[in-house]
Structure 1
């Protein structure tokens, strides 16, 4: 279950952040990570002051959170630090083991790591009150079946935080990204906004809100493919395994330029407009019908 390594790492780093009253020094491996973190915060991620993993998706100690395709565990760790009970799954055992080691160090009420392809999920009906599946559905052969499983294990009234790459970004990368980026284990599905919403609603969920995010990452990926080809790099295998630092100097220059731009007066409005025009990620917040607690 893939997403860019730099993005995974910065999300994990920021999930450790304390409320604003506490000063914490964060060390970054690259300008890409630093800029990506700041861009994410401005885009609505990791709201420690309101305990929201993303704006409109609050986490409390009473919640049972399922993070399907947990990857490096950024979402799981944020929820664990809010005191929630966390269940995290991935098809790769090493990722589940790594996240499990980190969750132990948090204030999670309970935790459980599962190695699974999610068809079916080894969980009872109506298990979770919060369900997270970020950048997962584009990788799987049966996205509707995955969504059906997520619906099954959600409690009545459960909230869902779902994301897939935006069609605009995916189509822009065709011909620039290597062909393998659109083959397994990478992106075998490209969802239009309408198709994504239809799949979510087809599973029985009610769409609560929709968001776009990540203009910075769209251009970052375009520059990544271009500079990599110029350097004669091989792009075989899972894309997320290819994206770790050190990054090309041109990528780092782009990160510094973007940070300076969004830090200007009016930079926040520019970021919002560009995120809407050419997002890397499309997000749906959804709800399972029913009254919470009425499992």
Structure 2
């Protein structure tokens, strides 16, 4: 399930891409499939071990174009171990909302991005996230959880303040917001609740099958209750 639109953030052979806060690697895998060199960067060494294993499996299955490479690096977004201007593209998907000092993380993104390079930043969008916080304290107070709710204006202003030229934005995963509202209402860890379980099965079916009816439904819901907002920006050349 991708949040970033790769038509707006084109990647391919010759590009070096940083997936900041890569987690399970969903965006890193897509970048590698498209033939770019990707570095999956995260604080969680255990998750990155799974990403490395998937990179190897993709190579074995012939899913990686010749010349493309995938690497993993464990580290802190506030002090990344990369030289200035190391990457042509940076993806920061659902990570800034976890970082108390988000401005330092944004400045690090700008530092490692090459002049003229592109960045895609995704965070939970305001309304769905505000409802989740209202329904469940556990949702946002768990260790490593969300520490803030961004408005779109705040996110864009912070990116601009760090030196980026902010471009277009869009919303994603409108079908996922109701699932999280259900989870917050019945218990974030209560995966066996019949309603949460049924909705989760619907989402899995949608991700696998991608039927036209749910694609149309999500296109309608995204601007209204999209779970994530994605902002694209460029570092001045």
TM-score after normalising by structure 2: 0.85
CA contact (8 A) 1:208 1:287 kept: yes
- Listed as ranges, the matches of 1:1-80 within 5 Å are 11=1, 54-80=6-32
Consecutive unaligned residues in structure 2, runs of 5 or more: none
Consecutive unaligned residues in structure 1, runs of 5 or more: 1-10, 12-39, 46-52, 229-234, 236-241, 291-295
Equivalent position of 1:148 in the other structure: 107
Q: Does 1:210 align with 2:169?
A: yes
1:19-64 Cα shifts (integer Å, max 9, x gaps): xxxxxxxxxxxxxxxxxxxxx6xxx86xxxxxxx533111111110
Equivalent position of 1:26 in the other structure: none
Q: Does 1:89 align with 2:48?
A: no
Q: SS of 2:78's equivalent?
A: coil
Per-residue deviation, 1:268:
5.2
Q: 1:268 to 1:113 in 2, by over 3 A?
A: closer
The number of residues matched between the two structures is 225
In 1, Cα distance between equivalents of 2:112 and 2:202: 42
Per-residue deviation, 1:256:
3.7
CA contact (8 A) 2:183 2:196 kept: yes
Q: Does 1:276 align with 2:228?
A: no
In 2, Cα distance between equivalents of 1:221 and 1:206: 32
Q: 1:157 to 1:277 in 2, by over 3 A?
A: same
Stretch moving more, 181-190 or 153-162: 181-190
TM-score after normalising by structure 1: 0.69
Q: SS of 1:283's equivalent?
A: strand
Q: 1:160 to 1:182 in 2, by over 3 A?
A: same
Q: Does 1:103 align with 2:62?
A: no
Q: Does 1:157 align with 2:157?
A: no
Q: What is the root-mean-square deviation of aligned Cα atoms in Å?
A: 2.5
Q: 1:130 to 1:177 in 2, by over 3 A?
A: same
In 2, Cα distance between equivalents of 1:277 and 1:166: 10
In 1, Cα distance between equivalents of 2:217 and 2:175: 12
In 2, Cα distance between equivalents of 1:248 and 1:55: 38
CA contact (8 A) 2:98 2:145 kept: yes
CA contact (8 A) 2:132 2:139 kept: no
Equivalent position of 1:219 in the other structure: 178
In 2, Cα distance between equivalents of 1:64 and 1:247: 41
In 1, Cα distance between equivalents of 2:77 and 2:212: 41
